[in-house]
Amino acid sequence: MINFDSDYAMTIDGKAVFTDKTHPVYNPATKAVIAGVPDCSQAQLDEAVASSRRAFGAWSKTPLAERQEKVAALGDLIEANAEAFMALLTREQGKPRAGAEWEVFGSAAWLKEIATQSLEDEVLEDSAERRVVTRYTPLGVVGAIVPWNFPLLLAVWKIAPALVAGCTVVLKPSPYTPLCDLKFVELAQQILPPGVVNCVTGDDELGKWMTAHPDINKIAFTGSTATGRHVARSAADTIKRVTLELGGNDPAIVLPDVDPEVVAEQLFWASFQNNAQFCNATKRVYIHEEIYDQVRDAMVRFIEANVKVGDGAEEDTTLGPIQNSMQYEKVQDYFEDCRKNGFKFAVGGEIDTNAPGWFVPVTLVDNPPEDSRIVTEEPFGPILPLLKWSDEADVVARANDTIYGLGASVWGKDLDAVQRIGAQLEAGTVWLNEIHEYSPHQAFGGHKQSGLGCENSLHGLMEYTNWQTTTLKKQ
Ligand code: NAD
């Protein structure tokens, strides 16, 4: 039995590793310290990478079916410990029960589904004279670096395809949310040989050491675009492969024929799921001017009637706190900027800085200018600009006028118009009349500065491999 409430150790070469120096982890709903986790030294990172390198030899030669079976078994392990994972996730990340359930069972489901995937050899020629085959060989040791908004799921999105492809992994969680990841990797040792998955904890410096490490072959990174640039620069020195899942500023375009009451609830969840700490959260809503007032007012009514911001551990909480003090200050700054510029709040707008946790009220900003910070930047907190549009070409241009290209959505009854507009949006995922539908078999990634490469699907699996072409002259 594993104790989820204490003994947070790194896992290096199958063994629990503690350090004298630790760093604190907070419950964002109370600001109380709930754990101290190890501070990985450079020598310990070297040990972790060396153990993953050793493990790679045997793991990459383990039959695919056996690797798939073990990856699926990791899913079973999460399910068997789901209650403990959900409680811990709420404690360290802040998300309420429904969100924790989605993430924990989603992680299990992802492991099981990715375990069904494989990359077949491609026979390009098989004639009397020659046989030409392209096959996919595992890259080696993967450094997986994850953020604090979906700590378990985004780790699984990297570990599952890496292991199926035959790679081994050194995982680094965010210093803000390391606990579920530490426990997951500790549990995984029941199934995996030592070194196949290691987990190390530390601050951003540890991430830098990983991106520069000569014996890591690939960095699978999810985080901000600013950090993604550092990762790409650092990885360049050793020509590491990188997958970068970065920030977003997803637009939603609302046509004049929607039912305001129905779309209001859909837009609420599109924008505020996970307390808007979500790369794919809708971050700008363009509502046709004919229906703007009705949709705005319906959203306000929905929020006032249904949304309780509070401790995720309380049953009636809809949205939890901001996950950490750094992000809380960033979000406060957007409130301040809106206030300073005299923008109107349709709902919310006042942060109670005396609250016990890092709580922020759900806030709608009523038609701010297109070039304001709240429209052009990624607040990563529950403050959302509503904007008016009247001309289709103009709204498409505004939606695309950003360095980001992660996701986008279009909402309307006229399906021709919905699809026509959707086809013009520059984003990795475009949802039409629905939102945040993901699948392990659906490629996920960003256009423009929202990322490089993708996760999930066979395209994502391929990113953990080198392609190798063999040509054989038979006579
Ligand atoms: P972040 O970039 O600050 O940190 C992400 C991870 O990188 C952490 O583990 C951190 O310790 C590490 N890190 C920091 N500096 C590093 C460096 N120089 N080298 C290597 N690693 C380093 O991001 P965050 O604040 O944890 O997460 C929020 C951001 O992540 C948002 O911009 C959000 O949109 C983005 N995000 C993207 C996706 C996606 O799939 N595209 C998903 C979730 C979050």
The residue whose two tokens read 């309380």 is 314
7 in contact with ligand 1, CB cutoff 6 A: no
Pick from 47, 70, 291, 310: which is nearest to 166 by CA?
70
pLDDT at 1: 77
d(CA 456, ligand 1 centre) in Å: 19
Q: Which atom of ligand 1 approaches the CA of 248 most closely? A: 34
Q: How far is CA 173 from the centre of its chain?
A: 12
d(CA 212, ligand 1 centre) in Å: 17
pLDDT by residue (tens digit) across 205-216?
Answer: 999 999 999 999
How does DSSP assign 178-212, residue by residue? Answer: -HHHHHHHHHHTTTSPTTSEEE----HHHHHHHHH
Interatomic CA distance for residues 289 and 401, integer angstroms: 20
pLDDT by residue (tens digit) across 252-272?
Answer: 999 999 999 999 999 999 999
d(CA 406, ligand 1 centre) in Å: 15
Please give the model's pTM, rounded to 2 decimal places.
0.97
Indicate if the pLDDT at residue 195 is higher than 80: yes
216 in contact with ligand 1, CB cutoff 6 A: no
* 250-439: CATH number: 3.40.309.10
Q: Which atom of ligand 1 approaches the CA of 174 most closely? A: 9
Interatomic CA distance for residues 452 and 439, integer angstroms: 19
Neighbours of 229 (CB within 10 A): 13
Averaged pLDDT for residues 282-303? 98
pLDDT by residue (tens digit) across 330-366?
Answer: 999 999 999 999 999 999 999 999 999 999 999 999 9
With the most atoms of ligand 1 within 8 angstroms of its CB, the residue from 45, 142, 145 to mutate is 145
Averaged pLDDT for residues 176-202? 98
pLDDT by residue (tens digit) across 6-23?
Answer: 999 999 999 999 999 999
Pick from 91, 92, 94, 89: which is nearest to 108 by CA?
89
Q: Are 435 and 453 in contact (CB under 8 A)?
A: no
Question: In Å, how far are 80, 164, 165, 459 from 463, measured between CA atoms?
Answer: 30, 12, 9, 7
Select which of 40, 167, 279, 454 is catalytic. Answer: 279
pLDDT by residue (tens digit) across 298-317?
Answer: 999 999 999 999 999 999 99
Averaged pLDDT for residues 313-322? 97
pLDDT by residue (tens digit) across 412-447?
Answer: 999 999 999 999 999 999 999 999 999 999 999 999
Q: Which atom of ligand 1 approaches the CA of 444 most closely? A: 40
User: Can 167 be counted among the known catalytic residues?
Assistant: no
204 in contact with ligand 1, CB cutoff 6 A: yes
Interatomic CA distance for residues 244 and 398, integer angstroms: 25
Interatomic CA distance for residues 38 and 191, integer angstroms: 23
222 in contact with ligand 1, CB cutoff 6 A: yes
208 in contact with ligand 1, CB cutoff 6 A: yes
pLDDT at 475: 80
How does DSSP assign 392-426, residue by residue? Answer: HHHHHHHHH-SS--SEEEEE-S-HHHHHHHHTT--
d(CA 148, ligand 1 centre) in Å: 8
Select which of 245, 378, 455, 463 is catalytic. Answer: 245
d(CA 3, ligand 1 centre) in Å: 28
- Which DSSP symbol is given to 275? G
460 in contact with ligand 1, CB cutoff 6 A: no
How does DSSP assign 76-114, residue by residue? Answer: HHHHHTHHHHHHHHHHHH---HHHHHHHHHHHHHHHHHH
pLDDT by residue (tens digit) across 31-72?
Answer: 999 999 999 999 999 999 999 999 999 999 999 999 999 999
Domain ranges of the chain: 10-246+449-472, 250-439
62 in contact with ligand 1, CB cutoff 6 A: no
247 in contact with ligand 1, CB cutoff 6 A: yes
pLDDT at 193: 98
d(CA 387, ligand 1 centre) in Å: 28
User: Can 245 be counted among the known catalytic residues?
Assistant: yes
Percentage with pLDDT > 70 across the chain: 100
How does DSSP assign 138-162, residue by residue? Answer: E--EEEEE--SSSHHHHHHHHHHHH
Neighbours of 192 (CB within 10 A): 24
Could you confirm whether domain 10-246+449-472 is CATH 3.40.605.10? yes
Averaged pLDDT for residues 91-117? 98
- Mean residue pLDDT across the chain: 98
